[in-house]
Structure 1
């Protein structure tokens, strides 16, 4: 910590950085702290909302295999030993606790929706089956068709959810008659059928909602429009997690570019909805290495049929005048700066260049990938790590 002391942590918390082992381990420690000391109960990740239910089942009930459900999220960047360690910690924390006191996992990204397609099956998914392999912005010419298919699926789910009372009543009466011979009450049977119908309805609604959001993202025009739509859907998914957890607290893991509060990002929308209860924490490092796919410059790079291999990318000490160099000069070790308490300091309100790497980097020029930022406008806090080492792939 720096001299300002520890920041007061609010009910929603966003944090991310690049694919570095130090960042992932720090986020693990931070989430554990938020759970134990502040009562947080939900971990929301920029990962498949469709496959996130399997991760939640693992951390709550031990269903499945940790490495397998992590792989199922579909994002190579999270398929690391560090993230698996976090899931194992969540599982250990939940063991023996009542459900109301457990921590849960939520995926918030509508991409990688294969689990939702599988939930409905090929016949019900219909035209939406193309979403399984589609990247954002791939099908703008099919927008009307795919949105209509998603709307029809959601409508069918709503109708099924609104009608089960009569059908469930008959089913429960039949079940009750059979159970009467075994001295079970009809009312108990009815309650069981109602609960089964409710759970099925919740699951159906979730997967239908994921497919509708995925259809919206893949049929947008490529570019800024896609990112804006995707961030909007991720913000809505966080809203749903906040409602589900009853206000206990949601920690959001996403890239710096999403959790910052400028523009129409995920973080900006959460700031609009929750005000100061949303705390955006950016992560930066001084020098070292991180993992990312190297792409050729130009819009075609990330869309090659054969994705470029994941490589270890190395950076020397931050250039003078950058945000990273400024933080290194202030305190050379790992430290957190609460920008809210320093809002009047010139460096907080000034413009600085900072690194912008993500899952992809330009093959030849990534060392110079920087963009201007005003720290106090973009974030509520910054966590600085002097040396980064690559995360450990599973």
Structure 2
């Protein structure tokens, strides 16, 4: 079997990745099985550079706050701000501390220097403004949406004033109390103010939609796209906060699904302007239903990738990543009778394999799923191979 895999293993390069598809997908998703290591991020950087230089891709989207990411996009496009500043404030989930992400942002700024706007590379966060311990206040998105509409639409059509929004929103800490993640009673999401804000956000979004013919000529397309992002984010955050206050057994599964729904909406909007490389955990990008255990309960929800794939069809491509070892986390050489074990045995280190060819090489009944001694590493499920386009395998993944 090792020899068979050697025959189908290629370097992780844009040419081999795009050969997996009849036409280059508008959304090419590159997954990772664990967060917190830079080696797969550096591989992502190299692939993105090749996709930019050889295949016309111009956007990279990361599993990071979509609103904060606008700071990074401004920096790579025009040099606004500073590298250290955008790394500190433009990323969520601690991603700004990654040396590989610093390298990516620096390269993008250098690539764009002196280029016309139409040819620049773009950065996007595609996660909601959500952290593990809390969800953000809807203030930033909601007030930015209202401000744009107030500047360009008859104020008599606005459902409320900016002062009304400010009063209903109140202090941000009422929205960001970390106790609400585990205790529905601590959530502000079903208060009278939050319920009224949900209606106002819906009305503001509808006003944006109905005035699209005017707004697309009154403001640059870039500005209009950002206002659409603010509208989606405001509605999504208020919906998320509402369900944080839910005390039913389905609460965590629903919240997981709502997060991926926000991700999918962002990716579909990004795809409207051209091909995009997306990088996130495999579980957010896979076509299969996602699952995990949280608080002792099994959860299932449809991932962003499954939603986008259902909408875009062949314009969505998914490359899943698997590791051989992650020794600093106790993940040692995989058992030979697993998918990772078969790939590790071929000895090529890092490679890209057509998922259908890999399934054929593994044979029937095929290998079992690898157990993981580390909760932060999710082994690849061999049963998903028919719904994966390619597998990126990294043999021995260093800590840094």
Question: Normalised by the shorter chain, which TM-score bucket?
Answer: 0.7 to 0.9
1:155 is matched with which residue: 180, 203, 208? 203
Deviates more, 1:369-378 or 1:254-263: 369-378
Q: Provide structure 1 residue ranges, at least 5 long, that are not aligned to the other structure.
A: 169-190, 290-311
Aligned positions, number: 333
Which residue does the alignment assign to 1:216? 239
Distance 1:39 1:199, change over 3 A: closer
Which residue does the alignment assign to 2:106? 88
Distance 1:261 1:65, change over 3 A: same
- Offset of 1:238 from its aligned partner? 0.3
Distance in 2 (alpha carbons) for counterparts of 1:388 and 1:84: 19
How do residues 124-273 of structure 1 correspond to structure 2 at under 5 angstroms? 124-125=165-166, 126-127=168-169, 129=172, 130-132=174-176, 139=184, 143-145=189-191, 146=194, 148-156=196-204, 159=207, 194-195=218-219, 202-220=225-243, 222-243=251-272, 245=273, 248-263=274-289, 264-273=302-311
Distance 1:235 1:137, change over 3 A: farther
How do residues 273-288 of structure 1 correspond to structure 2 at under 5 angstroms? 273-288=311-326
Asked if the contact 2:204/2:231 (under 8 Å) is kept, the reply is: no
CA-to-aligned-CA distance 1:332-359 (integer Å, 9 cap, x gap): 42111111455544549845314679xx
Which residue does the alignment assign to 2:399? 390
How do residues 53-132 of structure 1 correspond to structure 2 at under 5 angstroms? 53-72=70-89, 73-112=91-130, 117-118=139-140, 120=143, 123=163, 124-125=165-166, 126-127=168-169, 129=172, 130-132=174-176
Distance 1:323 1:83, change over 3 A: same
Asked if the contact 2:175/2:188 (under 8 Å) is kept, the reply is: no
- Offset of 1:21 from its aligned partner? 2.1
SS in 1 for 2:125: strand
Which residue does the alignment assign to 1:297? none
Distance 1:147 1:348, change over 3 A: farther
Q: Which has the larger radius of gyration?
A: 1
Distance 1:371 1:34, change over 3 A: closer
- Offset of 1:90 from its aligned partner? 0.9
- Give the structure-1-normalised TM-score: 0.72
- Offset of 1:144 from its aligned partner? 4.7
Asked if the contact 1:235/1:270 (under 8 Å) is kept, the reply is: yes
Which residue does the alignment assign to 2:334? 318
Distance in 2 (alpha carbons) for counterparts of 1:370 and 1:199: 39
Note if 1:37 corresponds to 2:54: yes
- Give the structure-2-normalised TM-score: 0.71
2:369 is matched with which residue: 324, 345, 353? 353
- RMSD (Å), alpha carbons: 3.5
Asked if the contact 1:136/1:222 (under 8 Å) is kept, the reply is: no
Q: Provide structure 2 residue ranges, at least 5 long, that are not aligned to the other structure.
A: 11-15, 145-161, 244-249, 290-301
SS in 1 for 2:81: coil
SS in 1 for 2:129: coil
